[in-house]
Amino acid sequence: MPRPKGSKNKAKIIVENVDERIVAVESEIVELTATLKAKKAELKKLKKAKLQADKAAEEKKAEEDKAAILEAIAHSGKSVDEILDLLK
C-alpha cells in the first residue's frame, strides 16, 4: 500500500519545552567544562609526579652503578694510575 504524501508524514517539532531544554543543556555544558578543567589539572599533576619519579629512579640507578664500579675497583687491587691507563 503506498504511503500518502503531504503534511501528515512530516516530523512534528515540539516547541513546548525548548527553553527549558536549552537552559538544561547549557548548564550541563558548564558542568562538563568544569569537570574537564579539573581532569586536565589532575593529568598535569600526574605527569609532573611521573617525571620526578623517573628522574629519582634514574639518579638512584646511577648511584648504584657508581657504587658497583667503586666496589669492583677496590676488589681489583690495582692502583688509581693503572685504572686510569686502562680507561684511556
Predicted TM-score (pTM) of this structure: 0.56
Contact yes or no for 83/73 (Cβ under 8 A): yes
Boundaries of every domain in the chain: 16-87
- E strand map for the chain: none
pLDDT score at 34: 97
pLDDT score at 5: 65
Express each pLDDT in 32-54 by its tens digit. 999 999 999 999 999 999 999 99
pLDDT score at 1: 57
Q: Which regions of the chain are under pLDDT 50?
A: none
Contact yes or no for 9/3 (Cβ under 8 A): yes
